[in-house]
Chains A and B, each alone.
Chain A
Amino acid sequence: MAYNRTRRTYHRRKICKFCADSSLKIDYKDPRTLRIFTTERGKIIPRRISGNCAKHQRMLTLAIKRARIMALLPFTTSVVR
């Protein structure tokens, strides 16, 4: 499998936004911040894409789900037609 090693993958170091900026709080009442971490379809962006740390991703998913219940964030956009 030595040949596989020749294929180089470039990894950009991803930084957790919440760790980098302590003023940025995770709050379900603040949909504007949460919206950054969802796709345009309303899905939660996975950790491997967003680069969030595990702790903050857990808090984020909880906040997004709470916001969805209160109609602050969409569950999906396909409903609106």
Chain B
Amino acid sequence: MRFYETLYLLPPDLSQEDYNAVLDKFNGTIEKNGGVIIRVDEWGKKDLAYQVRKFDKGFYVLLQYCGPPGITFLLERDLRLDDRVMKYQTIKLRDKADPEQLKKELAPEETEEEKGISEDSGAQEEVAEKTQKGA
């Protein structure tokens, strides 16, 4: 199993039902193809650095998962085919990963990762998400 993360961007005018449907769809893609979801981090509606499809904002969703090497191909194909996805990017975090161990690692309040590419800003993002929801 390899440990991957995919960040994808959805348009800001998406309805709540559509948004949930998109999330479920891609979570389903992973589970169907022998992957294990470690974490789904919804950043909420964020400002974009430049316009994408004439939009200034968008929903960011970070999906962290384990799976066999071919899984990114299947997920990216689905992402590409879905018109609602504006952008996506997949990054391999680790070559050999144990999903159970990773869950333990990430679950107790964002423990630090020892690898070069890591996610330490999880706490910050959560704060940003909360403030945006409040606004």
Q: Kindly state the separation between the CA atoms of A71 and B116 in the bound complex, as whole angstroms.
A: 22
A80 touches B (CB below 8 Å): yes
Q: Kindly state the separation between the CA atoms of A24 and B58 in the bound complex, as whole angstroms.
A: 27
B13 touches A (CB below 8 Å): no
A68 touches B (CB below 8 Å): yes
B49 and A71 form a contact (CB under 8 A): yes
B90-101 interface mask toward A, CB cutoff 8 Å, 1 = contact, 0 = none? 010000000000
B119 and A31 form a contact (CB under 8 A): no
Find residues 15-51 in chain A having any chain B CB closer than 8 Å to their own CB.
25-33
Interface size class of chain A, counting residues whose CB lies under 8 Å from the partner chain: 20 to 34
Consensus secondary structure, chain B interface: strand
Which B residues are in CB contact (< 8 Å) with A75?
A: 49-50
Cβ distance B59 to chain A, nearest Cβ, rounded Å: 12
Find residues 36-73 in chain A having any chain B CB closer than 8 Å to their own CB.
59, 66, 68-73
Q: Count how many chain B residues have C-beta atoms less than 8 Å from C-beta atoms of the other chain.
A: 21
Q: A27-B119, A30-B124, A59-B116 are in contact. Are A66 and B49 (CB under 8 A)?
A: no
Among residues of A, the one whose C-beta sits closest to the C-beta of B49 is A74
Q: A59-B116, A71-B52, A80-B50 are in contact. Are A29 and B7 (CB under 8 A)?
A: yes
Chain B positions near chain A (C-beta within 8 angstroms): 7, 9, 48-52, 58, 60, 62, 87, 89, 91, 116-121, 124-125
Chain A positions near chain B (C-beta within 8 angstroms): 25-33, 59, 66, 68-75, 79-80
